[in-house]
Amino acid sequence: MSDNTDAQLPQDEGLPNPEMEGPGLFGDEPAQQAPEQLPATQQDQAASPYRVLARKYRPTTFDDLIGQEAMVRTLRNAFALGRVAHAFMLTGVRGVGKTTTARIIARALNCIGPDGKGGPTADPCGVCANCVAILNDRHPDVLEMDAASRTGVDDVREIIEATRFRPMQGRMKVFIIDEVHMLSRNAFNALLKTLEEPPAQVTFIFATTELRKVPVTVLSRCQRFDLRRVPQSELVGLFSCIAEKEHVRLSSDALALVARAADGSVRDGLSLLDQAIAQGTGQTDADGVIGATVISDMLGLADREVVFDLLEAVLTGKPEQALALLDAAYARGADPGLVLGDMLELVHTVSRLRAVPSLRDSADMPEAERVRGTHMADTFTVPVLMRAWQMLVKGMQEVEAASDRRAAADMVLIRLCYVADMPSPEDLIKRLSGAEGSAGQGGTAPSVGASSGAPSAGTTSAVLASSVSAGHQPPPLRMVSGGQSVSAAVPVAAPVPMPSVEPQALPHPRTWREAVALVKDQKEAILHGQLRHAAHLVSFAPGHIVLRFEQHVPAGAAQELRKVLDRATGMSWRVGLSEEEGEPTLDAQGAEIIQFRRKEAEAHPLVKAILKFFPDAELGEVRDHGLDDYGLPPEEPVPELLFAPLDAEFLDDDERPYDPGMSPD
Ligand SMILES: [Zn+2]
């Protein structure tokens, strides 16, 4: 019987305490404990097993940390002044150097210098026993824990227990807790007491990607450092250094692609560089350089140049070219969704270049972006770029949802080309406005003002200008073309002369309409309705009105009207009824006016042109802001139709981007 074998083993073996099997609480990774003690760069590469670049070139000093100058400065000051915090919170995206920083701090706290007599220093020596042990992840006092796998209160209790003992080998016990936001609430509470009064020889270093999930009570007891994403230019510099040390040559475009894909994370970038070196071997050009094509293939990206070519093709409306480019990229293994993503990013870059011209000198901008991007920024207007952006965003969603991604991407490109082929409303309006002016149509505000010297005309253009600038435009035309709904702010705005008819200011109505308006002002809603919809004026003179009511109007209506007018005006009115036909009701007259306006709008050359270019477009509701409550024009003659300002765009007002490149109107 050997049923006791397992249980007896530990005692029999008499294991030495510090060694643990597998990843313990502060689990070290056995694979890391490579026998070599030499600095990485001096190793004989042939003899030692391959180590990934991220590990091999992990920074060991503050100076090696790239892109975190502010934090390094603060830490250096703290060490110089001997005022190092007992708890740190390092936050930032993954792979930006949080645990690396934590380990450097641990060494800085524990370094005793080559002679064994040094104190805490911001420049740990790297050769003393403490430095070497920490570098190799086997210092008994520097304990690293991943809160993602150890979230419970018991795990934290273990730490708290450990803080009660003096350091075994070093000067300071350092607890590095990664992904600290994963700790449970109880675990945080347990930790809090220790954080409030940390033992003198204990330092906590927390790292997290999600600072918001860390309780404020914990945060407030830590010195906090936000590690920033490493700028692309610095990544390029680092990767090029490392490639050189590895005796690998990558083109600058290739390095830029790796840096771009790294998205600010040194670790991610180095993993990509690892892959690139592995895949690039044997794919180098004649000079032994790994080119951008290898990298873009590896990343599933279209070649950078291809992305530029593609965007240019769609923005200039060349579908054959665009589709051929996508086919070629697809054949080389590029993912259609990623290609669109690249185009989207390029639209963003070009828009930024247009908005902030100084970016053109930025070192962060790769060469291709700077040269071709600048050219595109000068060629395409912001509205065109915005339209491309919106369509690409939508297109990417379609590609993600499609069963055939490639076909979906094709459709997106075709649609972009199709839209590019259409003149922008801006151009259209500019062109037509010019033509129209020479044809003497008098469609613009200044020509109205010039055509008649009457004061009313002056009022008209002034009012129009103010109504436009105040945004009182009628709703934009809704253009529906090719299944793509585009909203166009091409308002068919009628002139807006302020009606000189101000019923409340005129106690003695001079016209039938004014009389009815007066009834409305008197809050006689029912009577007002009857007058508006069912009363036909036969004759009107101040003080004497003759009407024909429609059949359904109650007999007392005329009498009632008389009373209301008497009361409101203080004079005596007579209201007679007649069998004569009389005028149409006010309501019917208003409807006629709108019909008339609609015909006018449809006949306008600009509307005609729009309908020709956008065959599926429809003329929406036509509103005439010059009409009064009854849909009727004021006494003055009605001027010509007027149109939107020249800078009217495809976009709704609230979507319209700020474009410093375009002159504001
Ligand atoms: Zn040292």
Helices assigned H by DSSP within 82-173: 98-110, 129-135, 153-163
Whether pLDDT at 530 is above 60? yes
Q: Distance, CA 70 to ligand 1 centroid (Å)?
A: 24
The secondary structure of residue 415, as a DSSP letter, is H
What is the 136 CA–ligand 1 centroid distance (Å)?
13
Report d(CA 242, CA 283) in Å as an integer. Answer: 19
**pLDDT-based confidence at 172, cuts 50/70/90?**
very high
Q: Look at 619 and 87; give whichever has higher pLDDT.
A: 87
| Protein residues with C-beta less than 5 angstroms from the ion ligand 1 | 111, 124-125, 128, 131
pLDDT confidence of residue 61: 92
Angle between helical axes of 185-196 and 153-163 (0-180°, round to 10) = 20
Phi, psi angle pair for 586, to nearest 5°? -60, -40
pLDDT band at 302 (very low <50, low <70, confident <90, very high): low
Q: What are phi and psi of 404, to 5 degrees?
A: -115, 95
| Nearest alpha-carbon partner for 562 in 548, 576, 551 | 576
CA of 29 to the centre of ligand 1 (A): 22
CB-neighbour burial class of residue 260 (10 A; exposed 0-12, middle 13-18, buried 19+): buried
β pairing state of 484-488 and 477-481: antiparallel
On whether the CB atoms of residues 37 and 132 are closer than 8 A, the answer is yes
Catalogue all structural domains in the chain, each as residue range(s) with its CATH number. 53-226 (3.40.50.300), 232-299 (1.10.8.60), 304-418 (1.20.272.10), 506-646 (no CATH)
CA of residue 127 to ligand 1 center, whole Å: 5
Instruction: Report which residue type is found at 629.
Output: D
- How remote is the C-alpha of 105 from its chain's centroid? 37
How many Cβ atoms are within 10 Å of 407's Cβ, its own excluded?
12
Distance (Å) from CA 128 to ligand 1 centroid? 4
pLDDT of amino acid 47: 52
If you measure from the C-alpha of residue 32 to the centroid of ligand 1, how many angstroms do you get, rounded to a whole number? 20
Distance 266 CA to ligand 1 centre (A): 25
CA of 129 to the centre of ligand 1 (A): 7
Ligand 1 center to 142 CA (angstroms): 14
CA 132 to ligand 1 center in whole angstroms: 7
Going from the Cα of 202 to the center of ligand 1, the distance in angstroms, rounded, reads: 18
Distance, CA 63 to ligand 1 centroid (Å)? 15
Assess contact for 223 and 75: CB atoms under 8 A: no
pLDDT tens digits for range 245-274: 999 999 988 998 899 888 889 998 999 999
| Ligand 1 center to 169 CA (angstroms) | 13
In angstroms, what is the span from residue 118 Cα to ligand 1's centroid?
8
If you measure from the C-alpha of residue 130 to the centroid of ligand 1, how many angstroms do you get, rounded to a whole number?
6
Going from the Cα of 139 to the center of ligand 1, the distance in angstroms, rounded, reads 12
Assess contact for 637 and 500: CB atoms under 8 A: no
- CA 420–ligand 1 middle distance (angstroms): 64
What's the gap in Å between 131 CA and the centre of ligand 1?
Answer: 4
Q: Is the pLDDT of residue 323 over 80?
A: yes
Provide the pLDDT for residue 514: 85
% of the chain with per-residue pLDDT over 70: 72
Q: How far is the CA of 47 from the centre of ligand 1 (A)?
A: 27
Residue 459 has pLDDT above 90, yes or no: no
Q: Report the distance separating Cα 443 and Cα 292, nearest Å.
A: 55
pLDDT for residue 457? 37
**What is the pLDDT at residue 579?**
87
pLDDT tens digit string along 173-210? Answer: 999 999 999 998 889 998 998 999 889 999 999 999 98
pLDDT number for residue 566:
86
Q: Kindly indicate the confidence band of residue 72, based on its pLDDT and cuts at 50, 70 and 90.
A: very high
**For residue 424, which phi and psi values (nearest 5 degrees)?**
-70, 145
Output the CA 25–ligand 1 centroid distance in Å. Answer: 25
pLDDT given at position 80:
94
Amino acid 301: pLDDT: 66
Measured in Å, residue 31 CA sits from the centre of ligand 1 at 23
pLDDT digits (tens, 9 = 90+) for 205-236: 999 998 988 999 999 999 999 998 898 889 99
**In the predicted structure, residue 452 carries a pLDDT above the cut 50:** no
What is the whole-number distance in angstroms between the Cα of residue 107 and the centre of ligand 1?
Answer: 7
Give which of 188, 174, 105 is closest to 144, Cα–Cα: 174
List all residues 6 or more positions away from 544 whose beta carbon is below 8 Å from its beta carbon.
Answer: 573, 574, 576
Contacts of 11 (CB under 8 A, 6+ apart): none
Cα torsion angle, 13, 19, 20, 25, sign: positive
Average pLDDT, the chain: 76
CA of 593 to the centre of ligand 1 (A): 92
* Residue 195, amino acid: L
User: Quick check: 147 and 182 in contact, CB under 8 A?
Assistant: yes
Question: Whose CA is closest to 360, among 348, 373, 347?
Answer: 373
Check residue 629 and give its pLDDT. Answer: 64
Q: How far apart are CA 222 and CA 156, in angstroms?
A: 17
- Rounded to the nearest whole angstrom, what is the distance from the C-alpha of residue 91 to the centroid of ligand 1? 26
Whether 243 and 273 have beta carbons less than 8 Å apart is answered as yes
DSSP-assigned beta bridge partners for residue 206: 89, 177
Average pLDDT value for residue range 404-417? 93
Helices assigned H by DSSP within 148-231: 153-163, 185-196, 216-219
- The 10s digit of each residue's pLDDT in 620-644 is 766 666 666 666 666 544 344 444 4
Q: What is the reported pLDDT for 479?
A: 41
pLDDT category, 483, cuts 50, 70, 90?
very low
What integer is the mean pLDDT of 295-311? 81
Q: Which residues contact 416 (CB under 8 A, 6 or more apart)?
A: 314, 315, 322, 388, 391, 392, 395
More confident residue, 422 or 523: 523
Cα(172) to ligand 1 centroid in Å equals: 13
- Is the pLDDT at 316 greater than 80, yes or no? yes
CA of 72 to the centre of ligand 1 (A): 18
Question: Above pLDDT 90, what percent of the chain?
Answer: 32
Q: How far is the CA of 267 from the centre of ligand 1 (A)?
A: 25
The whole model's pTM is what? Answer: 0.51
pLDDT (tens digit, 9 = 90+) per residue, 360-407? 877 667 677 788 889 999 989 888 899 899 999 999 999 989 899 999
Place of tokens 């059949």: 551
Tell me how far the alpha carbon of residue 134 lies from the centroid of ligand 1, in angstroms. 9
Tell me, in angstroms, the distance from the centre of ligand 1 to residue 51's CA. Answer: 24
Q: Give distance in angstroms: CA of 114 to centre of ligand 1.
A: 6
